[in-house]
């Protein structure tokens, strides 16, 4: 997909003939603002419908980082769910990375506000009693990997405590492709098997996950956020590695896509239809599902990786405490709304 600039601005929308704002070579379309947005929303709606999330009364927790992808996701979700009785609630985690985190929080809250969606904000340093960087240092692990582990845990714990039926994450098609190619290079097929457009819930241990932007590329998600006037932060996280493998894969795939339009969308669609196959190969169905003995949520062993990490670095497993904090927050919200 490309933006129209300069002399190409005269191009017309393939559907209505209005001035076009985007060219989508893999779909052989040029689209005006309205039809581009509808094109994206159809992709998002498809993910929700196939996961069974478009039913009256369903509650969807949208993880909003403040970046373009979750901003685009939030607006698309708000527009799609408006008429079918699905409740959307935003969740933003304050990571405590200085001005970047302050601006991220503002953007996330703004994105929720313009969409009329309630936003729950959780300050990780406050609930953990230590900054994420300090925990990473004590664990002798990269900040990114520790931050990812903490975010995944807290987002799922929040979804459980808030009674959400689904958690929506803002990963776009390029993210999914880059991550699965990286995992293929590592021959970690179990990791690939977890990256379908949705995953099912596991009793009360893990809430079902949705990736509404599964078929939406990075450029499309950026353009959608801009055209829908959804506020977002343009900055990258200061702790992002300088040369992540995913970035190299994205560059490579974009070059291939330019020469062979449709490669990326084919990949993502085939990946979706092959997920069950990957699950079989990796033997995921036979995996033992366990409950963390400290916090009661999903775990691969006796204790979940979050409780192990916090026990090792903070002297106590924090899962049960975090769950209590969120429960109290949720109760406060419920009384405020009643
Ligand atoms: P990342 O792992 O940073 O690429 O983010 C992937 C997805 O995780 C985002 O699109 C959001 O849905 C979610 N996410 C990341 N950071 C945050 C945050 N600080 N608060 C809430 N959700 C987040
Ligand atoms: Zn049009
Ligand atoms: Zn635990």
Q: What is the pLDDT of residues 321-331, one digit of tens each?
A: 999 999 998 88
Are 73 and 220 part of one and the same domain?
yes
Instruction: Return the residue matching tokens 């995996």.
Output: 287
* pLDDT the model gives residue 9: 53
Residue-averaged pLDDT of the chain = 94
State residue 289's pLDDT score. Answer: 83
Find the helix packing angle between 263-282 and 173-185, rounded to 10°: 50
Per the domain annotation, does 327 fall within a domain?
Answer: no
Q: Which of 285, 309, 332 is the last residue before a domain boundary?
A: 285
Q: How confident is the model at residue 8 (pLDDT cuts 50, 70, 90)?
A: low
Q: Which of 44, 62, 63 should be mutated for ligand 1, with most atoms under 8 A from CB?
A: 63
23 forms beta bridges with 2, 30
Distance from C-alpha of 86 to C-alpha of 95, rounded to nearest angstrom: 29
The string over 91-108, giving b where at least 16 C-beta atoms fall within 10 Å of a residue's C-beta and e elsewhere, is: bbbbbbbeebbeebbebb
Instruction: Return the sign of the alpha-carbon dihedral for residues 41, 42, 45, 46.
Output: negative
Q: Which of the four pLDDT bands, split at 50, 70 and 90, describes residue 337?
A: low
- Give 332's pLDDT tier (boundaries 50, 70, 90): confident
pLDDT over 90 (residue 1): no
The last residue of a domain, from among 237, 257, 285: 285
Give the span between the Cα atoms of 23 and 32, in whole angstroms.
9
**Is residue 143 lining ligand 1, measured as CB closer than 6 Å?**
no
* C-beta of 209 in contact with ligand 1 (< 6 A): no
Number of domains in the chain: 2
Question: Does one domain contain both 5 and 138?
Answer: no
DSSP 6: G
Listed residue (171, 177, 192, 173) closest to 245, CA to CA:
177
Q: Say how many Å lie between the CA of residue 337 and the centre of ligand 1.
A: 26
Residue 299 placed within a domain: no
- 135-179 pLDDT tens trace: 999 999 999 999 999 999 999 999 999 999 999 999 999 999 999
Within a domain: 7: yes
pLDDT tens digits, one per residue of 261-319:
999 999 999 999 999 999 999 888 777 789 999 999 999 899 999 999 999 999 999 99
109 shares a domain with 223: yes
Do 25 and 77 lie in one domain? The reply is: no
Tell whether pTM > 0.85: yes
Q: Is the pLDDT of residue 99 over 60?
A: yes
Average pLDDT over residues 47-70: 97
With H, G, I as helix, E, B as strand and everything else as coil, classify residue 62: strand
CB 173 within 8 A of CB 259: no
267 plus 241 within the same structural domain: yes
Does residue 78 sit in the same domain as residue 194?
yes
| Domain assignment present for 330 | no
80 and 7 co-located in one domain = no
Please tell me if the CB atom of residue 70 comes closer than 6 angstroms to any atom of ligand 1.
Answer: yes
pLDDT interval class at 336 (50, 70, 90): low
| 95 and 11 fall within a common domain | no
Q: Is 162 in the pocket of ligand 1 (CB under 6 A)?
A: no
pLDDT at 214: 98
Q: Estimate to the nearest angstrom the gap between the alpha carbon of 87 and the chain centroid.
A: 17
Distance of CA 254 from the midpoint of ligand 1 (Å): 23
Distances (CA, A) of 62 to 59, 197, 224, 243, 315: 10, 15, 17, 29, 31
Pocket mutation for ligand 1, best pick of 47, 60, 65 (most atoms within 8 Å of C-beta): 65
List, as ranges, residues with CB under 5 A of the ion ligand 2.
Answer: 13, 15-16, 18, 32, 35
- Within this chain, do residues 5 and 146 fall inside the same structural domain, yes or no? no
Which residues form the domain of 18?
1-31
Query: How far is residue 193 CA from its own chain's centroid?
Result: 17
Whether 314 maps to a domain, the answer reads no
One domain, residues 102 and 21 = no
- Of all protein residues, the one whose alpha carbon is nearest to atom 8 of ligand 1 is 169
Ligand 1 within 6 A of 211 CB? no
Pair (109, 1) in one structural domain? no
Q: Is the CB of 169 under 6 A from ligand 1?
A: yes
Does residue 173 line the site of ligand 1, with CB under 6 A? no
Share of the chain above pLDDT 90, in %: 88
Q: Name, in order, each residue with C-beta under 8 angstroms of 209's C-beta and a sequence gap of 6 or more.
A: 166, 167, 168, 169, 198, 199
Residue 320 domain-assigned?
no
Q: Which ligand is nearest to the CA of 152?
A: 1
The CA 259 to ligand 1 mean position distance, Å, reads 31
The model's confidence at residue 3, banded by pLDDT at 50, 70 and 90, is low
pLDDT attached to residue 241: 79
Q: Which helix (H) or strand (E) holds 181?
A: helix 173-185
> Predicted confidence band at 54 (pLDDT cuts at 50, 70, 90)?
very high
Joined together, the tokens standing for residue 265 give: 């969308």
Query: Which CATH number goes with the domain that contains 94?
Result: 3.40.50.620
Half-sphere exposure (CA, 13 Å, Cβ side) for 303?
14
pLDDT value at 81 more than 70? yes
Same domain, 188 and 260: yes
Q: Which of 61, 62, 64 to mutate to test the pocket of ligand 1 (most atoms within 8 A of CB)?
A: 64
Provide, rounded to the nearest whole percent, the portion of the chain with pLDDT above 70.
96
CA 54 to each of CA 35, 36, 75, 265: distance values in angstroms, whole numbers, following the listed order: 22, 22, 16, 24
User: In this structure, is residue 332 part of a structural domain?
Assistant: no
Tell me whether residue 313 is in a domain. no
């Amino acid at each position: 997909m490309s933006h129209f600039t300069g002399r190409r601005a005269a191009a017309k929308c393939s559907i209505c003939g209005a001035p076009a704002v985007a060219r989508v070579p893999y779909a052989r379309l040029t689209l005006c603002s309205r039809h581009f947005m509808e094109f994206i929303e159809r992709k998002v709606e498809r993910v929700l419908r196939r996961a069974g999330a478009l039913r009256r009364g369903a509650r969807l927790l949208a993880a909003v980082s403040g970046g373009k992808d979750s901003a685009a996701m939030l607006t698309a979700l708000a527009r799609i769910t408006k008429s079918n009785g699905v409740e959307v609630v935003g969740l933003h985690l304050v990571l405590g990375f200085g001005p970047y985190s302050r601006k991220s929080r503002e953007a996330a809250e703004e994105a929720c506000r313009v969409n009329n969606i309630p936003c729950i904000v959780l300050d990780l340093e406050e609930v953990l009693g230590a900054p994420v960087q300090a925990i990473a240092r004590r664990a002798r692990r990269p900040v990114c990997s520790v931050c990812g582990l903490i975010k995944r845990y807290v987002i799922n714990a929040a979804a459980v405590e808030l009674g959400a039926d689904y958690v929506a994450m803002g990963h776009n098609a390029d993210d999914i492709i880059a991550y699965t190619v990286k995992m293929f290079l590592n021959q970690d097929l179990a990791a690939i098997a977890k990256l379908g457009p949705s995953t099912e819930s596991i009793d009360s241990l893990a809430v079902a996950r949705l990736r509404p932007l599964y078929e939406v590329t990075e450029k499309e998600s950026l353009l959608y956020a801009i055209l829908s006037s959804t506020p977002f932060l343009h900055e990258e996280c200061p702790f992002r590695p300088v040369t992540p493998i995913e970035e190299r894969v994205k560059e490579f795939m974009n070059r291939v896509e330019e020469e062979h339009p449709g490669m990326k969308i084919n990949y993502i669609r085939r990946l979706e239809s092959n997920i069950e196959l990957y699950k079989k190969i990796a033997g995921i169905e036979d995996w033992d599902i366990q409950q963390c003995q400290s916090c009661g949520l999903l775990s691969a062993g006796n204790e979940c990786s979050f409780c192990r990490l916090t026990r090792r670095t903070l002297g106590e497993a924090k899962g049960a405490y975090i769950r209590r904090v969120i429960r109290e927050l949720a109760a406060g919200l419920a009384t405020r709304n009643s």
